[in-house]
Structure formats: C-alpha cells, structure tokens
Amino acid sequence: MNNILVFQSDFGTIEGTVAQMYGVALTIDPTLKLYDITHNVPVFDTWSASHDLYQTIRFWPEETVFVSVVDPGVGSNRQSVVAKTTSGHYLVTPNNGTLTHVAKHIGIESLRVIDEQRFRRPGSENIHVFHGRDVYAYTGAYLASGKASYEEIGVLLPLNQVVTHRLIDPIFYAESLEGILEIDDPHFGMVWTNIPSTPLFDLGVQYGDSLNVEISHQDVIKYSHVIPIAKSFAYVSKGDDLVYVNEMGNLAIATNLENFTQKHGIGYGADWKVVINPKSKE
Amino acid sequence: MNNILVFQSDFGTIEGTVAQMYGVALTIDPTLKLYDITHNVPVFDTWSASHDLYQTIRFWPEETVFVSVVDPGVGSNRQSVVAKTTSGHYLVTPNNGTLTHVAKHIGIESLRVIDEQRFRRPGSENIHVFHGRDVYAYTGAYLASGKASYEEIGVLLPLNQVVTHRLIDPIFYAESLEGILEIDDPHFGMVWTNIPSTPLFDLGVQYGDSLNVEISHQDVIKYSHVIPIAKSFAYVSKGDDLVYVNEMGNLAIATNLENFTQKHGIGYGADWKVVINPKSKE
Amino acid sequence: MNNILVFQSDFGTIEGTVAQMYGVALTIDPTLKLYDITHNVPVFDTWSASHDLYQTIRFWPEETVFVSVVDPGVGSNRQSVVAKTTSGHYLVTPNNGTLTHVAKHIGIESLRVIDEQRFRRPGSENIHVFHGRDVYAYTGAYLASGKASYEEIGVLLPLNQVVTHRLIDPIFYAESLEGILEIDDPHFGMVWTNIPSTPLFDLGVQYGDSLNVEISHQDVIKYSHVIPIAKSFAYVSKGDDLVYVNEMGNLAIATNLENFTQKHGIGYGADWKVVINPKSKE
C-alpha cells in the first residue's frame, strides 16, 4: 500500500468533525498521508458523492484508499463495505449508492463487508451516530497503512449486492443525441451531460458549428437555443452560452465568464433531459 | 514530540492568512506535519472554539500541539499561553476563554506564558494585528518540532489564572433532567445538551421510549414535544425529531434528514435551558 | 528543491477539482508535500490572486513552488509560464495578471514559457478546459520534486512580457497622504490602503492621534470621518472605526469586532480613492 488516505464527506469543515477522523487515522499510523476530495458534498446526496468519486479517483496513484462518508442511514442496518476497483483503488464507504458511477464506468473487482467486531474504534460501541470516524476512517487507516490487508477487512460480498442509483444511458439517433444532465459544477455553474462527444463529431460537427440544445425538466422545456460548440469558454463572448467537451470527454454546457445553471434555472438528475443536434447548414 | 501541528482559528480560508501561518511553521521546520481542526470557528467566538477543542484533541496522538487562534483582543494585554493537558496534548492560544472546556473536562496539567522576547517571528515587532502568525504559529512550530522544549516557552502561570467562560452543570431531579443546550452542529443542525445519557437510562428509559423535551430561551418556551430516544437518526421517519446519545455520551436532539435548529429556531448557550423527562407509561 | 508544492485557485472546494490536481501531482511524486493558499479566490479575479500571492509567498521556504490558477482564458492563446522570483520562489501560472504584485513588490528574476509538448499530462491533449490539472499542477509537480529543472520548463520570456494590472502609487503631500483601497479582507471586513505607514509617522503622528479619513468611489465620497490610529483593534471600543498598520506595514482601516466594509458599503480597486491626513491639534 502507498500510505495515502483520502477523505470525502458531507460533514462540512466548520467544526472539528473531519479533524476527529484525521486524529483517529494518525493515531493508528502517524506516517499516513491524509488528503481530502471535499467535505462539502451536498448533505445526504449520495448521487453527487458517487459522481465525484468517479471523476476523481482515477487521477490518484494505485492503491490509494478513499474513505467516502455520505451516510444518511448511519446507525441503521445499511452495510459498511470496502470496494476494490479494477483501477487498483480502494473505497471505504456505506453501501448506499456512493459506488454507482465507479461500478459502472470504472469497475469494481471485489467487495467486502467490514467486520465491525475488529474494525471499529475501541470504546465506540455505544456511539451510533459517527461511523465516519469510528468505522470508516478507522478501517481506512488500517488498510492504507498496510496494518490490515484487504482480505482481513471482512467476508466477500457478491458484486450484485452493490447498492446503486439508476443510471440512464444516452441515446444516439440518426441526427440527434439524447441524454440527461448528469451533474453540475456547483462552483462555476457549468452542467455536464451524459452524452459522449465522439458521436457528435461522427455526425460531422466541427468546433465553431452551431447546435440546437433543448433542455427539459419533467417534459417542460426550460432551455432551447442555438449555441456553438467551442474548444473552451474564451472562444465565445462574455455572457454567451456554449457547448464544450468536458474533462471526461462528454458534452457539457456553460456560459463564458458567467454561471449557466443560475442564469437559466437549470438543475441536474434523471428528470433533466437534454437533446442536442447539429443545426442544418443551408 | 511527534512533529504534528494542528491549527484552529476564525480566519476563514478565502485568502492567504492561514497559508502564512503554514509558511512560517515550515520555515522553522519543513518536516512538520500540519493539519487543521477548522478555520471557520464563528468569528470572535471563543466559546465555540473551546468546545471544539474539547471534542477534538483527545482523538489525536499524545504530544500533538494545537494552535488555537480566536483572538478578538489581538494586540491588547491579554496573555499568550501554552497549556499542557493531562491527556498529554499542548494548546498554544490566547488566554481568553478557549481553554474553558478542556480545563473542565480533560484537565490542564500546567500553563506557561509565552516569552515573546524569544518566541515571536523576527521582524514582526511592529505588527500588532496578526499574532496567529507571528506568535502562535511560530511558538507552536518550535514546540511541535522539538526545537524548543515546553519548559523553555516561558514561566509557569498558576492554574487558577486560566481564563474561562462560566460553565453550567446539569441537574438530575428524581424524574427529570435539566441542563443547557451547550453547542450546535452548525452544518447538520443537531443541538447538544450538557446532560449525560447515563442518568436517563438509570431512570429506566430504553431506546424507543418517548421523552418530554422542553427547550426555553430566557424562560420563554421555544420547543415542547414528546419525541422518542433512538439509537440513530434513521430509526425515525424523515422529518421526525429524536433524542439521541451523541459522541460525547451526552443527550442531543435532531431531526432525521433535516436541520433541527433551523426548523425550530433553536440556538445554544447558557440561556438556552432544556428539561428532559420520560413520558409516564400508562 | 524542497519538495513543497502550494496551490491557489478560484476552483472552490465543494467537489473534486482540487483533489484531481493533488492526485496528478502525487502520481508524479508521492513524496511531494502539498499545501494550499486558498481555492476561494473570487471567481476570475486575477487582481485578488495577485495580491494574495504577494502577501503570502514570502513567508514560505525558498524554492517553494506555487501553482496559481485563476484562469478565465483557459484554452485560449494566453501563455502558461513559470516565474522565478528574486526571493527564490517559483510561480506556475497563466500569464494573465496574477504576477502583478509580485513583479512590482518582490521582483521577478526570470520567466519561462511552459513547453506544453513536454509538460502536459499525457492523454489530456483533447481537453481544453482544465489546464490547472493538466498543465499547471503537472508542471509544478515536476519542478517541486526536482524531476525537471527550471531551465527545462521552456524558453525564457523577456521580463517585459509579464502581463500586469495597472498599479497606482500613493502620493505624499505636505500634510496628507493619498492612495487607493488596494484589497479587502473578505472574512473580517478590514480594508487595506496602498499607503505605507512611515510617511504618516514622519508627519509627527503617534498612536492614539486622530486622523481625517476620506474614502471616495469614482469621485463620490463614501466615508468621511475623524478616527484614531491605534496599535490594534482592541484599543478602540466595540463598533468604533480605526486606522492601523497592517502586516505589510501599510495603513488599513477597520471596525473593532465588526465588519468595516459591510457596515459602510466600501469596496476596493483602482477607483476607490482614500485621503488620510492628521487632524490639526488646536
């Protein structure tokens, strides 16, 4: 193992919750290297946590251990698991949907249920509200430091026992592409579709061409404009909308130097449909 | 010493203030391991800083040095001290109330006044507004790295010179428990009482039982409901309130999947009284 | 090199963007020590980024490498550079204004254009929207780890090619000092002028004296009061305004225990003028 432990949660960083997880991990092994994805996943939002893990883990060295705790069911009978991905990373998390995108797009090699008889902070038996510290950080520290092997964590769980959100595949028609708005960028206000860019370029589209973009929410049209596809934001004027290819190779929509989702009241999720097709050149 | 230095402040992280403290520490010893509790203590709120330290430091390895800077009196004649706790931790802080909960619940073994002739960043003599960087981070780095011993920091101060906020003890009546709302969770909206759970269970209460919970602010009743005590949030329905045992072993109040304090307009502090008693079973 | 890599951006920390940069850097060298100035520079605000770098880098050890990414022109033809400062620090950044204050107040020894044929994350050639990860973090990691020398980064650029914002010098009149409000403290609400304190003390002013302070925005007076100059905030009553000497040795304006800029509706920048003169003692 590479001694790297990375945290993700919806705990915020305005008091000591995260620092308690850090302290527990460093008490197990003070040589661990601790990092964060974010602790500002929208509260209880396992979909966002899942997408964020998928986006992020592949940039980290193999054997890196991720502790992901968005855990609205803490203390209930939801399982606590460690997933080993086909990319060689480990995810320590409640089995509550946070593995959705990694399972689909990266691949889970195997899955184990955490043996809480062994992997639980001593003295925490009567605390039922902070498994992030007492189970997940504790287990992650043992695994990342090599003080426990993956095999020791607990028994194997069949891969079909991974709890996942429903994912919707994009549809490629002869002259248009249909998908959903999969996630937003909550800071800059871009929104990402689940439509890969390759089929669009296969239709003969080139950077600079105009596209019809129609976004609807529960069948009500929320946005319908002809906008260009551009290499990056700065290729259009300030305040103009554009389609671009995001860092996953999918189509995304933004406003140059402004916030697209706020400006147009756009959300994301399975009921936000998007249809993109090249504007016919006459 | 274990080379670990942990920061807490009300400085925020939206510009370089914290990074300047980090740079000063790493200039003294680049092998130091630097971490944060939070830099988002409510501005000037030494009570919250104090409670947060109490919650957090005991999860860290012995000999860890904490630099806590919530310092509304910077540049005035308030003292700068290092406290050694009975748990083997060190706290570098203005003597302005931030040691309240640690002194009461963990214990301070001894206290020294920082000798600013020696422990102050060279060249900072005419800067009176950033002791977090020039005195506290500087002193903490010397202590955590072992480049200065605790004894060298300055002369001993009698323990009764620790500046503390007034703490209120809970009262156990024959059939009810009375205390205050000691602190909130500003992110999820739970609120923590200062009432330990043991006396409640001693009254025969079991998980699932109903409790009368009455919260008043300056003698005006703000909340009065019969709600269950549950092992964790998920044992009640979404939107339902519950009493639970928090990670300190005290009684706390929350709403499952919602924000209790926002929903009911509940604050915390010495003038927020709470009375809890088992609902009689008839 | 000292193996220290420090990040600054306007990316926020509410999802995995920053963690992707961290992962890329640690994949290049897992022994790197990664830190942050902030990731909450106001969006697209290269002026604030520039001032923040100037404030912060000099507190870090020599040879520290800073990756600064406030990059509204990502994917356009703006240059990507590494600056070596006369203080012995390295700045990896788009050449878009972020070097303004460092160039003026610290000094740039030399400047190189990043050779993106070599210093760009393999596989990122078709991604035009995240140079922070694919170019800047990648280059910074090579430089900080010593896996590439500064000379290898790319060809030298003449120093007059540094893109800078216009800076305005303060003016010292016989009995008054005139300058601009250069930057605010967005957390506590102080505001910093570009006027050094020495000329004021040269006029015979002492701590405790009264000053006329007049702030105007585009020639409209926004604030005009007689307030004291004090060593620190606590020397005036809660809610009172004061002039103080900030940590750069310049004059700054604050309200004790309150937020000056919010209270008086004060901004900052080249069109916020401030005139300070000692009140005549009669």
What pLDDT does C77 receive?
A: 85
Closest-CA distance, A242 to chain C, in angstroms, reads: 13
Contact B16 C37 (CB under 8 A): yes
pLDDT 10s digits, A106-164: 999 999 999 999 999 999 988 889 999 999 999 999 999 999 999 999 999 999 999 99
Average pLDDT of span A227-235: 95
Closest-CA distance, B30 to chain C, in angstroms, reads: 8
Beta strands in chain C (DSSP E): 4-9, 33-38, 65-69, 80-85, 90-94, 108-113, 171-172, 177-184, 191-196, 210-217, 220-228, 241-245, 250-255, 269-278
Task: Kindly identify which residue of chain C lies nearest to residue B75, measuring between CA atoms.
Answer: C232
Beta bridge partner(s), residue C92: C67, C82
Contact C16 A245 (CB under 8 A): no
Which residue, B142, B131, B124, B128, is CA-closest to B69? B131
Contact C187 B12 (CB under 8 A): yes
Q: Which of B38, B61, B245 sits opposite A16 (nearest CB)?
A: B38
ipTM comes to 0.95
Written as tens digits, the pLDDT of chain C (282 aa) is 999 999 999 999 999 999 999 999 999 999 999 999 999 999 999 999 999 999 999 999 999 999 999 999 888 889 999 999 999 999 999 999 999 999 999 999 999 999 999 999 999 988 889 999 999 999 999 999 999 999 999 999 999 999 999 999 999 998 899 999 999 999 999 999 999 999 999 989 999 999 999 999 999 999 999 999 999 999 999 999 999 999 889 999 999 999 999 999 999 998 999 999 997 755
Calpha distance A131→A31 (Å, rounded): 23
Contact A40 C128 (CB under 8 A): no
Angle at alpha carbon of residue A73, lines to A72 and A74, rounded to 5°: 95
Q: Which residues of A touch C13 (CB under 8 A)?
A: 36, 38, 40
> Which residues on chain B place their C-beta less than 8 Å from a C-beta of chain C?
11-20, 22-24, 26-27, 30, 34, 43-44, 72-76, 126-130, 133
The three-state (H, E, C) secondary structure of A21-52, written as one string: HHHHHHHHCCCCEEEEEECCCCCCCHHHHHHH
Count of beta carbons in the 10 Å neighbourhood of residue A37: 29
Q: Which of A56, A187, A245 sits opposite C19 (nearest CB)?
A: A56
pLDDT 10s digits, A170-187: 999 988 999 999 999 999
Contact A61 C23 (CB under 8 A): yes
pLDDT 10s digits, B223-256: 999 999 999 999 999 999 999 999 889 999 999 9
Calpha distance A267→A258 (Å, rounded): 16
Contact A23 B231 (CB under 8 A): no
Q: Which residues of B touch A30 (CB under 8 A)?
A: 2, 4, 33, 61
Calpha distance A226→A153 (Å, rounded): 53
What pLDDT does B281 receive?
A: 59
- Choose between B127 and A262: higher pLDDT: A262
What pLDDT does C63 receive?
A: 98
What pLDDT does C188 receive?
A: 95
Closest-CA distance, B50 to chain A, in angstroms, reads: 11
Q: Which residues of A touch C23 (CB under 8 A)?
A: 56-57, 59-61, 64
Output b/e per residue, C243-263; b: 16+ Cβ within 10 A: bbbbbbebbbbbbbbbbbbee
Phi, psi of C153, rounded to the nearest 5 degrees: -60, -40
Closest-CA distance, B14 to chain C, in angstroms, reads: 5
Task: Kindly identify which residue of chain B lies nearest to residue C235, measuring between CA atoms.
Answer: B76
What pLDDT does B247 receive?
A: 87
DSSP C216-235: EETTEEEEEEEEEB-SSGGG
What pLDDT does A281 receive?
A: 59
pLDDT over 70 at B196, yes or no:
yes
What pLDDT does B77 receive?
A: 85
What pLDDT does C281 receive?
A: 59
Instruction: State whether residue B67 is helix, strand or coil.
Output: strand
pTM for the predicted model, two decimal places: 0.96
pLDDT over 60 at B282, yes or no:
no
Count of beta carbons in the 10 Å neighbourhood of residue A30: 15
CB pairs under 8 A between B and C: 97
Q: How far is CA C197 from the centre of its chain?
A: 20
Contact B27 C56 (CB under 8 A): no
Average pLDDT of span A251-269: 96
Instruction: State whether residue A189 is helix, strand or coil.
Output: coil
Q: Which residues of A touch C15 (CB under 8 A)?
A: 37-38, 40-41, 48, 52, 55, 185-187
Contact C15 A245 (CB under 8 A): no
Q: Which residues of A touch B6 (CB under 8 A)?
A: 19
Sheet of A108-113: strands edge to edge? Answer: A33-38, A4-9, A65-69, A90-94, A80-85, A108-113
Closest-CA distance, B65 to chain C, in angstroms, reads: 19
What pLDDT does C76 receive?
A: 81
Q: Which of B16, B26, B27 sits opposite C55 (nearest CB)?
A: B16
Calpha distance B61→B30 (Å, rounded): 20
Amino acid code (one letter) for A65: V
Phi, psi of C5, rounded to the nearest 5 degrees: -130, 125
Contact B16 C2 (CB under 8 A): no
Q: Which of A14, A20, A74 sits opposite B59 (nearest CB)?
A: A20
Calpha distance B69→C208 (Å, rounded): 26
Calpha distance C146→C148 (Å, rounded): 5
Instruction: State whether residue A186 is helix, strand or coil.
Output: coil
CB pairs under 8 A between A and B: 97
Q: Which residues of A touch C73 (CB under 8 A)?
A: 234
Angle at alpha carbon of residue B262, lines to B261 and B268, rounded to 5°: 35
Q: Which residues of A touch B36 (CB under 8 A)?
A: 13, 19
Q: Which chains touch C (3 or more CB pairs under 8 A)?
A: A, B
